[in-house]
Amino acid sequence: MANNLVILESPGKIGAVKSYLGSNYKVIASIGHVRDLPKSSLGIDTENGFEPHYINIRGKGDLIKELKKEAKNADKIFFATDPDREGEAISWHLAMILGDDAKKAKRISFNEITKSAVKEAIKHPRNIDINLVNSQQARRILDRIVGYQISPFLWKTIKSGLSAGRVQSVATKIIVEREEEIKKFVPSEYWTITANLKTAKNKSLVAHFYGKKGKKTKIADKKQLDKILLEIKETEFKVADVKKSSKHRTPQPPFITSTLQQEASKKYNFQSQKTMKLAQELYEGINLGAENGGAQGLITYMRTDSLRISAEAQAAAKSFIVDKFGNEYYPSTPRIYKSKSNAQDAHEAIRPSKVALEPAKIKKYLTADQFKLYKLIWERFIASQMASAIIDTVVVDIDNNSYTFRTTGNTIRFSGYMAIYGDFENGDNADIESGIFEKNKIPALLPDEKLVQKSLESAQHFTEPPLRYDEASLIKFLEEMGIGRPSTYTPIITVILSRGYVTREGKFLKPTALGEVTTQVMNEHFPDIVDYKFTANMENNLDTIENGDITMQDVLGSFYKDFTVSLTKANEHLGKKGVEIPVEEADIVCELCGSKMIIKNGRFGKFAACPNYPTCKNTKTLTENGKQPEVKKEEVADFKCELCGSDMVVRQGKFGDFYACSNYPKCKFTKAKDTKVDLNCPFCGSEIVTKFTKSKKQFYSCSAFPKCKFSTWDIPTEEKCPNCSSMMIKKKNKSYSYCANEKCGYKTEE
């Protein structure tokens, strides 16, 4: 019997893939990359063709030994890493590590983790695509050069510990420029008039001021408003024109990475990192029980910018639509969506792996959030293959003394795709399916018909500044500008937040003073690095390497020639003038000396400090948004004081919440309080809580302790390891994070 070895990228896929291949296949995971550039040096020979110097990732020694041992014993080896540039590069690095044993290896890839897809991939192995590898290498080398050669300049110019990035600096600039737009914005006044009318048959309708003699006019001030109101107050309203039309509204295409992140943000307020985590889980596989075929991937690969759909998926969608809704709900020809010109067409759009797995049928096997995202993907895909909706529209112009008022109504004549994906002005699916959905139903009207004025309402408004970017709108802008690719959107946002260049205010992203100053310095000394077109052109160059039309060395050489000129000029500038980070004021007045307090960052996060330090040492705790925490209503514990029998209450201390006797100060008994942190243990999935040692030192622990041994002095985060998808933990007082999985050993750069 043949001994075959399949090496995956993520351990989360092992169970599903192993069940599809049988006993003569050994399935293991590389847990992401096994080699990378060294952290202690540039690791690039810029004088000799930009040759990278790769080293084995620290902490992966045992894993590499296991991979080599299994490879030596195997008759055939299949590299089954993810179907993108990064996955191709991981396969190439694995081949370099395995040495002569790699001669037995072939590359396979699958867009979905289903039995048919995996078995089909095994039947059609191929060689590693070196152009795809070189495209990834070029990106890694570019990012290393920018990060390692600009960051020291920022340390000397602004402050130590800063980092620059080829794309993160551009993303920060986008957010800074929007903030500048908001600050410069001057609101302008305008007024609206609403007429509440009724017909001769006592039917009500509402019309809004449109303009004069059918021409759109803006009411700029109160004087103009009063003139119009005076002229129409005692005058008759009369129907001038009734226009009826029908519009065919076509469905939206299936999701790609960016549109999935945007829609999940809009509908469920998911951050992009959460969306991608859930999508990864759906892709890698969920155990649906024996009746549904066990463990299987529910969606296709989630990092894609292609709108292509396979013929098999299209046929499955047609069969479902016709059976469920009828022939009229399927278009006369199958729908084909055109991807953008710069899209990588390596794999399909994001769609369900099996149309037959309707969300409601498998809901019990999914978490609440997994279900939401799967339902969104499933419904969007089915809708994308359905017939257009037909919308009847009525536009009525109403005259009064040469002024025009207008009202518009819409009614769905044929729901089409809206029967499953109700996006008509946020219409509810149930209303659409029942065929009763209408927006502003207008009574039957005829030209010259007179209308009775019930009331006139006027309101003053002011134009609003542009909104700050949230994650969804930033990703949309990055995509439109050609900056970044599906696999990089979420890491870009994660980095600029973790580096302190940007902060969250609710769902919106706001630049910090540090972000504004850093952008100013980058604009002055490295304008190309933060230029939108330059960054987009570099992305296109990486695509060109992938296509084999240009070499990695050509792209890197052209970039480095101009970059070194800018770097030399910037370093010559050092010492001429430093850049100070503006002090950020808090909306808090120091009660001790009356000064306005300033916001500072400490080891436990943001806090407000008196600017007169050390004369006045007053400080206050702040939230991440720079606000004072809300005063909590005193919480009474469900147990009594062990010393005096009084109620125990929750109090706030330097090290977090704790239980204290309500009879304080007569009784000083206290007890540590475990606090949930809305994160799950990376080992067993139970909740993580904060705990304290006897010396009041805080640490994090699994709530299932001692059954589960997970604990750490550092800070657990929502971020997932790019190698193995385990939890990333932020090192206290340091600028790096590391993977909770010790076998993985992944660590971000300091």
Q: What is the pLDDT of residues 678-693, one digit of tens each?
A: 788 888 888 888 877 7
Regarding whether 558 and 489 lie in a shared domain, the answer is yes
Per-residue pLDDT at 272: 94
The tens digit of pLDDT for each residue in 272-330 reads 999 999 999 999 989 898 888 788 899 999 999 999 999 999 999 999 999 999 999 99
| Alpha carbon 120 to chain centroid, angstroms | 32
Regarding whether 273 and 361 lie in a shared domain, the answer is yes
CATH number of the domain residue 405 falls in: 2.70.20.10
Which has the minimum average pLDDT: 302-311, 316-325, 427-436, 642-651? 427-436
pLDDT confidence tier of residue 703, bands split at 50, 70 and 90: confident
Q: Which helix (H) or strand (E) holds 323?
A: helix 311-325
User: Which of 329-338, 593-602, 660-669 is the most confident on average?
Assistant: 329-338
Neighbours of 634 (CB within 10 A): 10
Cα R_g (the chain), whole angstroms = 31
Per-residue pLDDT at 431: 41
Regarding whether 446 and 485 lie in a shared domain, the answer is no
> Domain count of the chain?
6
User: Is 458 inside any structural domain?
Assistant: yes
Per-residue pLDDT at 695: 67
Regarding whether 105 and 13 lie in a shared domain, the answer is yes
- Tell me: cis bond preceding 706? Omega within 30 of 0 counts: yes
Regarding whether 316 and 218 lie in a shared domain, the answer is no
HSE-up (13 A, CA, CB side) for residue 24:
6
Regarding whether 67 and 29 lie in a shared domain, the answer is yes
Instruction: Tell me the one-letter amino acid at 639.
Output: F
d(CA 279, CA 276): 5
Which has the minimum average pLDDT: 97-106, 334-343, 417-426? 417-426
Regarding whether 417 and 357 lie in a shared domain, the answer is no
- Cα separations in angstroms, 45 against 149, 372, 524, 553: 14, 48, 28, 12
Q: Is the pLDDT of residue 742 over 50?
A: yes
**Cβ contacts of 551 within 8 Å, gap of 6 or more:** 134, 545
d(CA 16, CA 12): 8
- Which residues share a beta bridge with 505? 508
User: Is 133 inside any structural domain?
Assistant: no
User: Is 176 inside any structural domain?
Assistant: yes
Regarding whether 502 and 615 lie in a shared domain, the answer is no
Q: Are 389 and 433 in contact (CB under 8 A)?
A: no
Please give the average per-residue pLDDT across 381-390, as a whole number.
96
Q: Is the pLDDT of residue 541 over 80?
A: yes
Q: Is the pLDDT of residue 430 over 50?
A: no
| Alpha carbon 680 to chain centroid, angstroms | 20
Q: What amino acid positions are annotated as catalytic residues?
A: 301
More confident of the two residues 651 and 229: 229
User: Which of 379-383, 588-592, 711-715 is the most confident on average?
Assistant: 379-383
Q: Is 268 exposed, middle or buried (0-12, 13-18, 19+ CB in 10 A)?
A: middle
Per-residue pLDDT at 429: 42
Per-residue pLDDT at 436: 43
Q: Are 721 and 727 in contact (CB under 8 A)?
A: yes
| Domain of residue 617, residue span | 585-621
Per-residue pLDDT at 626: 59
Regarding whether 556 and 530 lie in a shared domain, the answer is yes
Q: Are 703 and 687 in contact (CB under 8 A)?
A: yes
Helices and strands of the chain, counted as H and E runs: 18, 35
Mean pLDDT rounded to a whole number for the chain: 88
Indicate the DSSP class of residue 548.
T
Closest by alpha carbon to 4, among 16, 12, 20, 316? 20
Q: Is 312 exposed, middle or buried (0-12, 13-18, 19+ CB in 10 A)?
A: exposed
Q: Is the pLDDT of residue 427 over 60?
A: no
User: Is 437 inside any structural domain?
Assistant: yes
Per-residue pLDDT at 434: 39
Regarding whether 33 and 101 lie in a shared domain, the answer is yes
**Cβ contacts of 605 within 8 Å, gap of 6 or more:** 622, 624
More confident of the two residues 737 and 383: 383
| Domain end (from 423, 440, 462) | 462
**Mind giving me the DSSP string for 530-547?**
T-HHHHHHHHHHHHHHHH
d(CA 469, CA 172): 11
User: Is 135 inside any structural domain?
Assistant: no
| Domain end (from 573, 601, 630) | 573
Residue the block writes with tokens 């990092």: 303
Mutual angle of helices 168-184 and 471-481, in 10-degree steps: 110
Q: Which two tokens stand for residue 683?
A: 């080992």
CATH number of the domain residue 539 falls in: 1.10.460.10
Query: Coil, strand or helix: which one is 678?
Result: strand
Closest by alpha carbon to 443, among 191, 151, 145, 206? 206
Q: Which two tokens stand for residue 108?
A: 């396979």
Please give the average per-residue pLDDT across 473-480, as a whole number.
94
| Domain end (from 325, 350, 384) | 384
Per-residue pLDDT at 432: 39
User: Is 435 inside any structural domain?
Assistant: yes
Indicate the DSSP class of residue 739.
E
Regarding whether 242 and 283 lie in a shared domain, the answer is no
User: Is 375 inside any structural domain?
Assistant: yes
Neighbours of 72 (CB within 10 A): 13
pLDDT confidence tier of residue 332, bands split at 50, 70 and 90: very high
User: Is 632 inside any structural domain?
Assistant: no
Regarding whether 262 and 242 lie in a shared domain, the answer is no
Residue the block writes with tokens 């990695």: 552
- Which residues share a beta bridge with 105? 77
CATH number of the domain residue 21 falls in: 3.40.50.140
The tens digit of pLDDT for each residue in 228-265 reads 999 998 789 999 999 999 999 999 999 999 999 999 99
Indicate the DSSP class of residue 39.
S
CATH number of the domain residue 330 falls in: 1.10.290.10
Please give the average per-residue pLDDT across 596-602, as a whole number.
81
